[in-house]
Amino acid sequence: MTGAGRVAAPMVEARGVRKSFGRHEVLKGINLTVPTGSVVSLLGPSGSGKSTFLRCINHLETIDGGEIDVAGRLVGYRRQNGKKYELKPAEIAAARRDVGMVFQRFNLFNHLTALENITLAPVLAKGVPKDAAAERARQLLSDVGLADFGGHYPSQLSGGQQQRVAIARALAMDPKLMLFDEPTSALDPELVGDVLDVMRRLAEQGMTMIVVTHEIGFAREVCDSVVFIDDGVVVEEGPPAQVLGNPVHARTRAFLSKVL
């Protein structure tokens, strides 16, 4: 399941994705294609549905309509005989191993050290030997500038350090796709730069990334395209220079005038 031979295929393709919480429809038919190797940022006002859409991509939310393909495979279902069969929990877990996720509030495992946070999933879900997993974890910690912090518990790390450990934890599973859900929104301003630097380097290495963010600067410099979502639909998408510099839609202009 390496996806070889599908290099030209998009990493993520969403068609008419709908999602409701109770009677409130949050996603009203999202269409989006993310080519392999590209970095896409999702922009939009709070409550626009951008985080919900991101969570749908790795099935943390179940969608009510439409469908999402990740690396050519349907998310959450198996298509057979003209029907979509819901996947079993173990199958969903297996599919998620290809998709890394970074959360706004880090969600590091509080009872484990930084190193243990990183090794837990490779050992449990992929059967990587403990020594090899620890070796890899040390490498990843050093990559995110935290080589000396493997023995620290999350409560002993700053927010910026926790978020970098969280990125290392996701990378330890060798994902094909990384999802970032407002990764710098819970950080003190002076800590944002370190996290963005790690993300920038990841983008340079060719990782496919979808980033929900309010960091317009990051979107402009690092992203291949910017998608503006409002009220559950994609309003506008294109290269950063176009969407951020010369938006077509009034709603995009109104949003940008508030955040810039």
Partner 1 sequence: MTPTPAVADEPIVRLRHPWRWLAAILILIVLAQIVVYVATTDAFRLDLVAQYFFDQRVLNGVVTTLQLTVLAMLVGVVGGVVLAVMRMSDNGVLRAVAGGFVWVFRGTPVLVQLYLWFYLGTVLPKVTLGVPFGPTLFTASTSDLISPLTAGILGLGLNEAAYMAEIVRGGINSVDRGQSEAAEALGLTPGQTFRRVVLPQAARVIVPPTGNEVITMLKLSSLVTIIGMTDLLGAVQQISARNLQTFPLFEVAALWYLLITSILTVGQGMLERRFARGHRGVGSTLQLAGA
Return the number of the residue (68 or 235) whose C-beta is nearest partner 1: 68
Return the number of the residue (61 or 236) whose C-beta is nearest partner 1: 61
Q: Shortest approach of partner 1 to residue 150 CB, angstroms? A: 4
Return the number of the residue (162 or 252) whose C-beta is nearest partner 1: 162
Residue among 221, 233, 162, 130 at smallest CA distance from 211: 221
Return the number of the residue (170 or 203) whose C-beta is nearest partner 1: 170
Q: Which residues bind partner 1 (CB under 8 A)?
A: 58, 60, 89-90, 93-94, 96-97, 99-101, 103, 105, 107-115, 120-121, 124-126, 138, 141, 146-156, 166, 169-170, 173
Q: Shortest approach of partner 1 to residue 213 CB, angstroms? A: 18
Q: Measured between alpha carbons, how far is residue 254 from residues 44, 187, 240, 250, 257 in Å? A: 11, 26, 16, 6, 5
Q: Is the dihedral of CA 16, 20, 23, 26 positive or negative?
A: negative
Q: Shortest approach of partner 1 to residue 123 CB, angstroms? A: 10
- For the range 145-151, what are the long-range contacts, defined as Cβ-Cβ under 8 Å and sequence gap of 24 or more? 145/194, 145/198, 146/114, 149/114, 150/113, 150/114, 150/115, 151/113, 151/114, 151/115
Q: Shortest approach of partner 1 to residue 257 CB, angstroms? A: 33
